[in-house]
Amino acid sequence: MGETLPRLPGGPLRRPMQTLRVKMVLLGSSGVGKSSLALRFGRDEFRSTSPTVGCAYLTRLVHLSDVNLRFEIWDTAGQEKYHSVTPLYYRGAHAAILVYDISKRETFLRAQVWLKELEKQYIPGSTVMWLVGNKGDLAQERQVSVQEGQGLASDRGLYFSETSAMSGYQVSELLVAIAHRVYECVGAQQEALTEWRETPVVNLRHRDTFIPAASCCKVGP
């Protein structure tokens, strides 16, 4: 007998949606709001955060029309002392988000240094790269214009957005846009995105019972 598939009312048989893994990394100077953006991506929440030590990890499932993308979000430390280990986290990323603070010009200049480092590591077409001016809620203190951000992105072949992790402005829209770009650009390459499945583990007290494996550092669905 063949596989029995669910029947949609009034429609043809449809297979369950595939879930693909997407590695996304956030890069940029300390204090630009990477951790706050990651928390918005993962839980749609905002809270004051301490500087990231090494790297933090969150997940978020994004539903597209014909596929689910499970984002594995790596929030890297921006302090100089962690700079040498950061490439360990962004190698193999399907999406790289380069973040600066629109109210601090030095973070915009520093983002260009991060970009040079990133360009040494990635293969063109294998990574969707996005320049993000965060802290849009501080527009009255702006030191980097929208035009400057757009100009840098255009010159270096990046996508561009401005967000506010505090208010949530354009954060969900950004994640959905990244999901579409990754699926269209990276996903078109054979086996570029691998399928994700929950891994069952044995409950030692009840050997016949299986429960989904959970990550100790997982935040989000």
Tokens, residue 119: 């360009």
- Report the C-alpha gap between 218 and 17 in whole angstroms: 22
Using alpha carbons only, what angle is made at residue 52 by residues 75 and 147, rounded to the nearest 5 degrees? 60
Taking phi first (over 0 means left), then psi (-120 to 50 degrees means alpha), and beta for anything else, what does residue 119 get? alpha
Exposed/middle/buried for residue 111 (C-beta within 10 Å: 0-12, 13-18, 19+): buried
Tokens, residue 21: 């893994």
Position 55 scores a pLDDT of: 59
Tell me if 88 sits within 8 A of 117, measured CB to CB.
Answer: no
| CATH homologous superfamily, domain 19-212 | P-loop containing nucleotide triphosphate hydrolases (3.40.50.300)
| pLDDT tens-digit readout, 39-63 | 899 888 887 664 444 457 888 999 9
From residue 23, give the alpha-carbon distance in Å to each of 75, 86, 176, 194.
Answer: 11, 14, 14, 10
List of residues 6+ apart from 139 with CB closer than 8 A = 102
* DSSP string for residues in 131-161: EEEE-GGGGGG--S-HHHHHHHHHHHT-EEE
- Report the C-alpha gap between 83 and 33 in whole angstroms: 17
Which span out of 9-18, 73-82, 122-131, 178-187 was modeled with the highest average pLDDT? 178-187
| pLDDT tens-digit readout, 182-200 | 999 887 665 678 887 766 5
Which helix (H) or strand (E) segment holds residue 114: the answer is helix 105-121
Report the amino acid identity of residue 58.
L
**Which three-class secondary structure state does DSSP give residue 111?**
helix
Is-above-0.95 flag for pTM?
no
Per the model's pLDDT, the better-predicted residue between 15 and 186 turns out to be 186
Tell me if 31 sits within 8 A of 48, measured CB to CB.
Answer: no
CA-wise closest residue to 74 among 87, 63, 84: 87
Position 117 scores a pLDDT of: 81
